[in-house]
Structure 1
Amino acid sequence: MRDLVERYGTPLYVYRLPHIRAASRDLRKTLPSGTALSYAVGANPHPRLVAELVRGGLGCEVSSPGELNVALAVGLSPEECVYEGCGMSGEEAQLALRSGVRRFRVDSPAGYRRLWAAAATSGVKLEYLISFSGAGPSAACGPGGGLPPDSLHAFPALFRGTDLLDPVGLHVVPPRNVSRPALLIDALEASVRLAAGMLREARLRPRVVGIGDGFAAPFARPGRRPAYGGLGAALRAVLDAHLPGWRSGDPSVSFASGPHLVADSGVLLTRVLDVRRGPAGDCVVLDAGRNVLGGPPGADRAAWFRVQPRRAAGGHGRPIERFVLVGPLCGPADVLNRSAALPRPRVGDVLEIPNAGAFGLTTGAVAFAGRPCPAEVVLDEGGAVVSARRLETQARELAR
């Protein structure tokens, strides 16, 4: 990585396409044959990464005009995009319609009404999936979490549709980031049973049943993406029991994944600016902080922030010590780890933060204090650079 640091400076994101291909291949082998897999673009909307997954046969779930633009720009058909309704404004719905998107997810009565208004304005009939929260503490209701399961009685109109809105099925949001195979199997089995039960009660014959992103990935610390042995067989059994037509596409069953597909492709390279004594122990100041490493959105963000560099350049042979890692923003919110284990670094050393391919730059406070954005470099086989960019350069070009 030294030559990349010399060329592009730090902080620097490096994404490796072979890792993405391997993650996609492994997950598709794990899931039952005949089911579909989509990429949740919010995990990392870098166009080169999205293009790689689209070329591998994945559809896309998008939740903003920017994510939609990326998916379409890399060649995905709008029919293969599902637009998530969480926080979607009427203007966004109209933009998605003009772009050719015809399938949405609805997770609230207000979102349903906005989608109906967009359909009425355009005169185009739309399809929608009703999004529900699955079982488990991390599948709590709220923004992005889906409706509570009792919504069938509270909002019956969602299940009936109109001449402009066609309810084609359900989408269940399971617990997120479940690393233990047995727990994920339990969660996804519960999601299938929940979907089947609601469909029976609503007397809705679905064309699609979607299961959200429960697949885990480590964040900004060493670790491997989990392998889910036994998941395929368990899912085939529960689908046969509760959605018996799924093997022939009645309904079609789809899964979504975001961080699991891209996290281990990314490395964040950051330089040590200072090493000094602080009130909580020795403190290492890095040129990468929360401005460039945002972390997962929602309630998991604080729990996930235990950033652990994998190694220090030139640190071999030094004893392992504990340090407080902070970024350059000079604020209490810019603490990356209060007890990071690494050889004592020196000013100018480059640290490598692994598993930074998801929820990194685009969830960070990139405009805070006017700090420049890091470069993002994409490598293919043999370390060949196939893309290099800075977000701020793109923003200036768009403003012209």
Structure 2
Amino acid sequence: MSGAKPVHAAQTLFPVVDDCLHVGGIPLTRLAERVGRTPFYAYDRRLVAERVRHVRAHLPAAVELHYSIKANPMPALVQHLAGLVDGLDVASGGELKVALDTGMAPDCISFAGPGKSDAELRQAVAAGVAIHAESEREIRSLARIGEELGIAPQLVLRINPDFELKGSGMRMGGGAKQFGIDAEEAPRMLALAAGLGLDVLGFHIFSGSQSLKAEAIVEAQAQTIALALRLAEAAPGPVRTLNIGGGFGIPYFPGEARLDLAPIGAALEQALPRVKAAAPQAQLSIELGRYLVGEAGVYVARVVDRKVSRGQVFLVTDGGLHHHLAASGNFGQVIRKNYPVAIGNRMSALDTEAVSVVGPLCTPLDLLADRMELPRAEVGDLVVVFQSGAYGLSASPGGFLSHPGAQEVLV
């Protein structure tokens, strides 16, 4: 086939010069030489900084911006973001170490997630970070650990709201959830904490993620703020922290449009006076992960074989679902859809063919692109998967079949 190729919005973020994709201002072929081998992830620090500036330009200045490390815990990337955002959110003891290593002040770091071990709680109390308690067991453990260490825990209640973020890719609130304390149980937990001598700083309420609909996020944030202010009436002391989560999505598939932040920022600006009046000491914050880094990363694998099976062309690469589970469709997709994919060293080629890009694993699930129109590629060419800056390497089964791991670079 020939003619104009459809271009996914993700591809426009990275310049193309002389037929070759550039990441971080470096031609992909040269970047592959620098890294030394494929497969690898490359994250563009310029795009990350631009995305942070974009968020800050639309949100009220009074709202803090936090980075959720779970989206991408690569230490160099987290270090870069630590200089751009107001706080870091972690979900394990390992992520806590990454956050503390950046030099971010401990009181700007929060630790959320169900099933925290006593060792992790002790680590967090000793470090002085805010612990977002998700159960009665955690509250009681924090009281005991604080007494043993002689340190007052920085306690925030994570709340499971009685609503969800409509149209979200992953629903984190509403109904029965392993996340947070049910909203109706919160007054009892506040009384329990007070009885144990704990000081509750405030609330963390997160109802969903990966939404591309501004109106849905505006509605969820309004419900979140209303719930937090109701719960503040039962708090034994002033509310100083109010984390309303994030939920901002990025487009992965054809037909999806980028999220418009303008109405979200405007609604928050209108809500601030009400928050200030009801909880004058409360610091409002949002927590974003995928939205800050997802579009700034690419996954690169090299074609090691080209074969035709009963008329279907397969490009076999040295990378696959063991490095990038999400692109294979096995990280939450109900119906598998292709991530945006390109041949990174043949970006301007007009002659295309329908191909499937597969990895080296012994499973038909190892599929990075299914019957996509791509420029004709040969052994040695570089396959690029866009939208790969979040939930990539750390969210994939790297030990599957014992193939070599992928590398990561920040450029």
- TM-score between the two structures when normalised by the length of structure 1: 0.83
After TM superposition, give the deviation of residue 279 of structure 1 in Å. 8.3
- Matched with 2:232 is 199
- For the 8 Å contact 1:195–1:209, the answer to whether it is kept is yes
- CA deviation digits over 1:114-142, x for unaligned, max 9? 32332233222112111123432523356
Q: Distance in 1 between the 2:359 and 2:257 partners?
A: 25
Amino acid at match of 1:236: E
- For the 8 Å contact 1:291–1:367, the answer to whether it is kept is yes
Cα distance 1:84–1:156, how it changes in 2: closer, same or farther (>3 A)? Answer: closer
- Matched with 2:132 is 105
- CA deviation digits over 1:194-217, x for unaligned, max 9? 222232355763111111121112
Q: Distance in 1 between the 2:253 and 2:106 partners?
A: 33
Cα distance 1:198–1:338, how it changes in 2: closer, same or farther (>3 A)? Answer: farther
Amino acid at match of 1:356: S
Cα distance 1:339–1:203, how it changes in 2: closer, same or farther (>3 A)? Answer: farther
The one of 262, 273, 282 equivalent to 2:293 is: 262
After TM superposition, give the deviation of residue 59 of structure 1 in Å. 1.0
- CA deviation digits over 1:334-373, x for unaligned, max 9? 2334343323432322111112111111111122222222
- Matched with 2:186 is 152
The one of 26, 29, 51 equivalent to 1:2 is: 29
Q: How does 1:1-400 map to 2 (within 5 A)?
A: 1-7=28-34, 8-98=36-126, 100-134=127-161, 135-136=163-164, 138-140=171-173, 145-152=179-186, 155-156=188-189, 160-200=193-233, 205-219=238-252, 226-244=259-277, 250-277=281-308, 281-295=312-326, 301-303=332-334, 306-314=338-346, 316-379=348-411
- For the 8 Å contact 2:343–2:377, the answer to whether it is kept is no
Amino acid at match of 1:140: G
Secondary structure (helix, strand or coil) at the match of 1:302 reads coil
Q: Distance in 2 between the 1:50 and 1:221 partners?
A: 30
Cα distance 1:50–1:57, how it changes in 2: closer, same or farther (>3 A)? Answer: same
- For the 8 Å contact 1:159–1:167, the answer to whether it is kept is no
Q: Distance in 1 between the 2:178 and 2:89 partners?
A: 12
- CA deviation digits over 1:58-103, x for unaligned, max 9? 21111112211111112112221111142210011112233x2241
Q: Distance in 2 between the 1:323 and 1:140 partners?
A: 40
- For the 8 Å contact 1:222–1:355, the answer to whether it is kept is no
Q: Distance in 1 between the 2:201 and 2:330 partners?
A: 31
After TM superposition, give the deviation of residue 236 of structure 1 in Å. 1.9
Amino acid at match of 2:71: A
TM-align CA RMSD: 3.0
Q: Distance in 1 between the 2:378 and 2:286 partners?
A: 45
* Most deviating of 137-146 and 264-273: 137-146
Cα distance 1:147–1:328, how it changes in 2: closer, same or farther (>3 A)? Answer: farther
After TM superposition, give the deviation of residue 267 of structure 1 in Å. 1.3
- For the 8 Å contact 1:60–1:80, the answer to whether it is kept is yes
Secondary structure (helix, strand or coil) at the match of 1:295 reads helix
Q: Distance in 2 between the 1:348 and 1:282 partners?
A: 16
- TM-score between the two structures when normalised by the length of structure 2: 0.81
Amino acid at match of 1:259: R
Q: Distance in 2 between the 1:203 and 1:89 partners?
A: 27
Q: Provide the identity percentage.
A: 26
After TM superposition, give the deviation of residue 315 of structure 1 in Å. 6.4
- For the 8 Å contact 1:14–1:267, the answer to whether it is kept is yes
Q: Distance in 2 between the 1:262 and 1:190 partners?
A: 27
After TM superposition, give the deviation of residue 107 of structure 1 in Å. 1.4
- For the 8 Å contact 1:289–1:336, the answer to whether it is kept is yes
Gaps of 5+ in 1: 380-400
Cα distance 1:233–1:56, how it changes in 2: closer, same or farther (>3 A)? Answer: same
Q: Distance in 1 between the 2:141 and 2:312 partners?
A: 52
Cα distance 1:351–1:90, how it changes in 2: closer, same or farther (>3 A)? Answer: same
Q: Distance in 2 between the 1:278 and 1:191 partners?
A: 53
Amino acid at match of 2:151: V
Cα distance 1:271–1:221, how it changes in 2: closer, same or farther (>3 A)? Answer: farther
Q: Distance in 2 between the 1:300 and 1:190 partners?
A: 29
Secondary structure (helix, strand or coil) at the match of 1:272 reads strand
- For the 8 Å contact 2:343–2:381, the answer to whether it is kept is no
Secondary structure (helix, strand or coil) at the match of 2:65 reads strand
Amino acid at match of 2:265: G
- For the 8 Å contact 1:112–1:158, the answer to whether it is kept is no
Cα distance 1:162–1:122, how it changes in 2: closer, same or farther (>3 A)? Answer: farther
- Matched with 1:398 is none
- Matched with 1:387 is none
Matched residue count: 374
- CA deviation digits over 1:301-338, x for unaligned, max 9? 22486323134533644544444333222214423343
Secondary structure (helix, strand or coil) at the match of 1:236 reads helix
